[in-house]
Amino acid sequence: MSWALIPLTEEQRAIQRTAREFARTEIAPQAVAWDRDGGFDRRIVQQLGALGFLGMMIPEAYDGLGLDTCTYLVALEEVAVADASAAVLMSVHNSLPTQMILRYGSEAQRLHFLRPMARGESLGAFALSEPDAGSDAASLRTQAVRDGDHYVLNGVKSWVSHGSMADVILCMARTDTSDERKGARGISTFILTPNLPGFGVGKKEDKMGLRGDPTVQLVLDNVRVPAANRLGEEGMGFIYAMQSLENGRLGIAAQAIGIARAALEHSVAYAAERKQFGKPIKEFQAIQFKLADMATRITAARALLYSAAAAKDRGEPITQFASMAKLTATETAMWVTTQAVQIFGGYGYVKEYPVEKLFRDAKVTEIYEGTSEIQRIVIARELYNRT
């Protein structure tokens, strides 16, 4: 797929080549096994870390690569072409826990937690959702009660991506229970580590797709967390999470574009190879039109994503554009993978061919880090905020 519309720098092209080669040789060959077995080989974390891909937007002073958002997304898209699960691991770690510590953490927290995360020695996760608090995340019920120089956390966090593998978990909990109506304002963020007594990994979800990246519940049973592990100000945790999800949404958009691109690449090749009625199916205009629409939608989604990312890199507000990019890219991924299954016919419906996995992997991009409905709510709200 041509990148001609996005003017990449020499450095970005070099990182793209590295990411593409790594994804092709180290990730792609394992993706089917990860999907089948429902989990990664932990080595993936070390490998991504060795390339600097787990600290791409962290300044060099904290052992990161100090790159901008656009460059990070170029690498992420290449990883996603090979495997959506590896991409979500990279996206969550780079966009949420690391950026939150960088942006809102103390210098001591940055030195202690962020530096090993940037080197890929320590993997980050993000625990906002709960069984009864999904789109309405501000209604979360996990409690953090102050006790001297500690907080005591109790509750269940759900849907935590690679929560069973993570070394550092940014967890949102309610510190102010005096008035339920305080909602978002009564929530704080804590840096948890799995060695804290009372911290447990609960149910692992048996998912439709994205099966390489384990999604688990985290059970917090009287977990005593040092007050020094609170991120930023008490009561600001939900705001920090929402601001960080803007970055996250760009990552999920890149993941979705990677999935869609893989579906298009497989479809182009298959349509040239598969013969019916005495000719390759690419000779049929119905198939050509599908391929043309797939390529056009991917190119449009990517143009929107990189425009939003460039705006972020210029320091401009991107709330609306991040949601537009996520909405467009993820609905594109679902549509493109659906067309890919159709182009493959019966072979598209079986695990022996690659588009079946892409179709399953695409679906979740419309759900996590804000469903498509929530993105539309954000976009519409911003229309009124501006006027």
Ligand X SMILES: Cc1cc2nc3c(=O)[nH]c(=O)nc-3n(C[C@H](O)[C@H](O)[C@H](O)COP(=O)(O)OP(=O)(O)OC[C@H]3O[C@@H](n4cnc5c(N)ncnc54)[C@H](O)[C@@H]3O)c2cc1C
Q: Which of 77, 283, 369, 373 is catalytic?
A: 369
**Residues engaged in binding ligand X (CB under 6 A):** 92, 126-129, 134-135, 159-161, 207, 210, 215, 364, 367-369, 371, 373-374, 377
Residue number, 80 or 210, with CB nearest to ligand X: 210
Spatial contact of 316 and 270, defined as CB atoms under 8 Å apart? no
Q: Least distance from C-beta 345 to ligand X, angstroms? A: 29
Tell me which residue has its CB nearest to ligand X.
Answer: 134
* φ/ψ (deg, to 5) at 191: -95, 110
Q: Least distance from C-beta 4 to ligand X, angstroms? A: 33
Q: Least distance from C-beta 187 to ligand X, angstroms? A: 13
Length of the chain: 387
Spatial contact of 256 and 276, defined as CB atoms under 8 Å apart? no
Distance between CA 164 and CA 216 in Å, rounded? 7
Q: Least distance from C-beta 295 to ligand X, angstroms? A: 28
Spatial contact of 224 and 150, defined as CB atoms under 8 Å apart? yes
Q: How far is CA 241 from CA 10, 64, 188, 219, in A?
A: 34, 22, 9, 20
How many CA atoms lie less than 13 Å away from 150 in the CB half-sphere?
9
- Residue 107 falls in the annotated catalytic set: no
Task: Provide the 8-state DSSP code for 324.
Answer: H
* φ/ψ (deg, to 5) at 150: -130, 170
- The residues facing 174 across adjacent strands are 143, 187
The distance of Cα 69 from the centroid of its chain, to the nearest Å, equals 14
Residue number, 73 or 171, with CB nearest to ligand X: 171
Residue 4's SS3 state is coil
Residue number, 238 or 306, with CB nearest to ligand X: 238
- How would you class 326 by CB atoms within 10 Å of its CB: exposed for 0-12, middle for 13-18, buried for 19 or more? buried
Q: Least distance from C-beta 215 to ligand X, angstroms? A: 5
**Angle, nearest 10°, between helix axes 69-82 and 285-313?**
150
Residue number, 15 or 220, with CB nearest to ligand X: 220
Residue number, 134 or 186, with CB nearest to ligand X: 134
Distance between CA 113 and CA 124 in Å, rounded? 9
Q: Least distance from C-beta 279 to ligand X, angstroms? A: 41
Residue number, 105 or 134, with CB nearest to ligand X: 134
Q: Which residues are catalytic?
A: 369
